[in-house]
Amino acid sequence: DAGVTQSPTHLIKTRGQHVTLRCSPISGHKSVSWYQQVLGQGPQFIFQYYEKEERGRGNFPDRFSARQFPNYSSELNVNALLLGDSALYLCASSFRGRTGDTQYFGPGTRLTVL
């Protein structure tokens, strides 16, 4: 079975632009989470979605938004990009998104904001 996939692999944007990142979960998984990983740091939780509903949100500004589609894939949108948004964005899927569920991570999207 395919693992979590993310697209694009790399992305270069300029300040003020908008970006959309995409994630496809493992088949059968209904929950998707998004993380931001700045170089040299651990991942920071952004969102979790389960069955198209937002289950949790981390301490990120409203410029960050996400949604989950009926096929359980997900998009992360970031508006008005800042230099500080440069990071590796990780998507993780799990079966139900419950506390004990194992999360499986995708390879990430490397976003560079110039």
Among the candidate windows 14-22, 62-70, 71-79, 97-105, which touches another protein by CB under 8 A? 97-105
The residue type found at 68 is Q
Contact 13, 19 (CB under 8 A): yes
Q: Determine if 58 is a binding residue for another protein (CB under 8 A).
A: yes
Q: How many residues appear in the chain?
A: 114
- Residues 4-43 touching another protein, rule: CB under 8 A, are 33, 35, 40-43
- Neighbouring CB atoms inside 10 A of 103's CB total 18
Angle at CA of residue 74, ends 76 and 43, nearest 5° = 55
- 13 vs 57 by CB, closer to another protein: 57
Binding site for another protein (CB under 8 A): 33, 35, 40-45, 48, 55-56, 58, 88, 90, 92, 97, 99-100, 102-108
